[in-house]
């Protein structure tokens, strides 16, 4: 009997120890422990350069989406999809965009509301173009662990009514660029990765052409 008891105990001990190891492995996979482990990770210069490139391309992408959304000749489907994709360039739906005109005070709108408003502008023809996009500051680390930089763009707005009368203004805008860690799911694994997003857009100056 002692022989049997010994083996039962041995098997039980092995199963318990193996379960404990498996549990640790699963935790590592699910919670990304061992990769992040609460340790602060810094971006190196090469990574910052790659994210700067990506940020500029996202800014240009936003510019193209705005052109599409405002273009009266584009199909409604394409415009709606452009709005969805443009919103995804931002940190969240709560990101704000300041809008201005030569005659009115600056207003703040949430990004989706701003893009929907562009689609419905009361002009016969609208052309919005962005130019001279550049980084006004390097990425610096914020207290919350995210990296932030400011990109500056110039926006030219041209709207014509049925009578052919044109309204044109040029606005200098500052766009907040943020790099933050987000959790993405790859199959059944969750992983923390860095991604670059657009933040709030502020108007710095509005002038005639």
- Contact positions vs another protein (CB under 8 A): 1, 3-4, 7-8, 10-11, 14-15, 18, 21, 25, 46-47, 49-51, 53-54, 57, 61, 64-65, 68, 74-75, 78, 81-82, 85, 88, 182, 184, 186-187, 193-196
Between 75 and 205, whose beta carbon lies closer to another protein? 75
Report the nearest approach of another protein to the CB of residue 64 (Å): 6
Report the nearest approach of another protein to the CB of residue 146 (Å): 15
Closest by CA to 193, choosing from 177, 178, 179, 205, is 179
Report the nearest approach of another protein to the CB of residue 63 (Å): 10
DSSP letter, residue 91: S
CB–CB of 132/116 below 8 Å?
Answer: no
Between 21 and 33, whose beta carbon lies closer to another protein? 21
Closest by CA to 55, choosing from 138, 144, 118, is 138
| Chain CA centroid to CA 124, Å | 31
Report the nearest approach of another protein to the CB of residue 143 (Å): 24
Report the interhelical angle of 111-119 vs 76-88 (nearest 10°).
Answer: 160
Between 88 and 142, whose beta carbon lies closer to another protein? 88
Report the nearest approach of another protein to the CB of residue 8 (Å): 7
- Both tokens assigned to 146: 């995210």
Integer-rounded Cα Rg, in Å, for the chain is 26
Between 74 and 117, whose beta carbon lies closer to another protein? 74
| CA dihedral (119, 121, 124, 129) positive or negative | negative
Between 61 and 170, whose beta carbon lies closer to another protein? 61
């Amino acid at each position: 009997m002692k022989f049997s008891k010994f083996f039962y105990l041995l098997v039980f001990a092995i199963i318990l120890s193996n379960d404990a190891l498996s549990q640790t492995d699963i935790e590592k996979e699910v919670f990304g422990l061992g990769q992040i482990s609460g340790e602060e990770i810094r971006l190196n210069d090469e990574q910052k350069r790659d994210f700067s490139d990506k940020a500029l391309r996202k800014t240009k992408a936003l510019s193209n989406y705005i052109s599409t959304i405002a273009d009266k000749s584009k199909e409604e489907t394409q415009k709606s999809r452009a709005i969805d994709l443009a919103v995804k360039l931002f940190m969240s739906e709560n990101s704000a965009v300041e809008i201005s005109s030569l005659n009115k005070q600056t207003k703040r709108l949430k990004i989706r509301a701003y893009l929907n408003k562009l689609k419905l502008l009361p002009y016969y023809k609208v052309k919005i173009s962005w130019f001279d996009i550049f980084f006004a500051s390097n990425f610096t680390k914020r207290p919350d662990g995210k990296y932030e930089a400011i990109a500056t763009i110039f926006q030219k707005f041209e709207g014509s009514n049925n009578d052919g009368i044109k309204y044109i203004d040029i606005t200098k805008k500052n766009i907040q660029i943020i790099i933050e860690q987000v959790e993405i799911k790859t199959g059944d694994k969750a992983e923390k990765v860095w991604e670059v997003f657009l933040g709030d857009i502020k108007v710095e100056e509005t002038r005639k052409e």
